[in-house]
Amino acid sequence: GAVVSQHPSRVICKSGTSVKIECRSLDFQATTMFWYRQFPKQSLMLMATSNEGSKATYEQGVEKDKFLINHASLTLSTLTVTSAHPEDSSFYICSALRGAPDTEAFFGQGTRLTVV
Amino acid sequence: RKEVEQDPGPFNVPEGATVAFNCTYSNSASQSFFWYRQDCRKEPKLLMSVYSSGNEDGRFTAQLNRASQYISLLIRDSKLSDSATYLCVVNSNDMRFGAGTRLTVKP
């Protein structure tokens, strides 16, 4: 199947610093990528939909100035958590949407962020 | 109302049991539907797409009812390795997940 690479897989950062997470689709072009957050024992929650070449669409309650998304190419989207706080500690995961006729979302391996 | 709602679970069943998961969605314009499986601390992986005519893949059967905005997943002859969280996913120009239903299959 298609491969989506997410990096880093794990990061620990100090409160107040920023962290960038990369999501790459390795063998197909993805005009649409999604960013999710998952807290322990909870489901994936969509944070934003990222479309190549345009501004991301954020879900209600997600601060766009805090979670900066850039989708500058058809194979790369980045999520930057700015001024991170301990409550931002979570599992962040991206997915890239392969379009018709075989529509499927492929997920990155996820990034476990711990803010200390 | 949540856009995608699933049975809360958890489901604890013996090996060999048949188990069914249900999911409803609110957006009637939704285009495609999937069941994903997520193992603990791993990314979700596609289990199967769900087609209007219903589809079967070995022990797994998925069904879609557009009129009722409802999809289901049936697992027959469950195995220990089926233990995971099953996520209902609805594509309406974005991929929205249900809360997931945790399944534990016991010996």
Asked if B43's CB is within 8 angstroms of A43's CB, the reply is: no
Instruction: Look at residue B81 and tell me whether its pLDDT is greater than 90.
Output: yes
Q: What tokens appear for A70 in the block?
A: 């850039």
Higher-confidence residue of A40 and A16: namely: A16
Asked if B42's CB is within 8 angstroms of A46's CB, the reply is: no
Q: What is the mean pLDDT of chain A?
A: 90
Classify burial at B58, counting beta carbons within 10 Å of its beta carbon; exposed 0-12, middle 13-18, buried 19 or more: exposed
Asked if A103's CB is within 8 angstroms of B94's CB, the reply is: no
B16-75 pLDDT, tens digit per residue, is 999 999 999 999 988 889 999 999 878 888 899 898 888 999 999 999 999 999 999 999
Site of tokens 């939704």: B30
- String of b and e for B10-20 (b: at least 16 CB within 10 Å)? ebebeeeeebe
A86: phi then psi, degrees, rounded to nearest 5: -55, -35
- Does residue A90 sit in helix, strand or coil? strand
Q: Which among A43, A91, A108 is the nearest to B97, CB-wise?
A: A43
Q: Which among B95, B99, B100 is the nearest to A105, CB-wise?
A: B95
Instruction: Look at residue A32 and tell me whether its pLDDT is greater than 80.
Output: yes
Asked if B43's CB is within 8 angstroms of A110's CB, the reply is: yes
A64-102 pLDDT, tens digit per residue, is 999 999 988 889 999 999 999 999 999 999 999 887 776
Q: What tokens appear for A36 in the block?
A: 């999710």
- Single-letter amino acid code for the residue at B89: V
Per-residue pLDDT averaged across A5-16, rounded?
96
Chain A nearest CA to B55, separation (Å)? 15
| CA–CA gap between residue B101 and residue A39 (Å, rounded) | 15
Residue B46's DSSP bridge partners are: B36
| CA–CA gap between residue B33 and residue B36 (Å, rounded) | 10
| CA–CA gap between residue A72 and residue A55 (Å, rounded) | 10
pLDDT at B32: 87
pLDDT at B1: 63
Q: Which residues of chain B make contact with A110, given a CB cutoff of 8 A?
A: 42-43
Percent of chain A residues past pLDDT 70, beyond the cut: 97
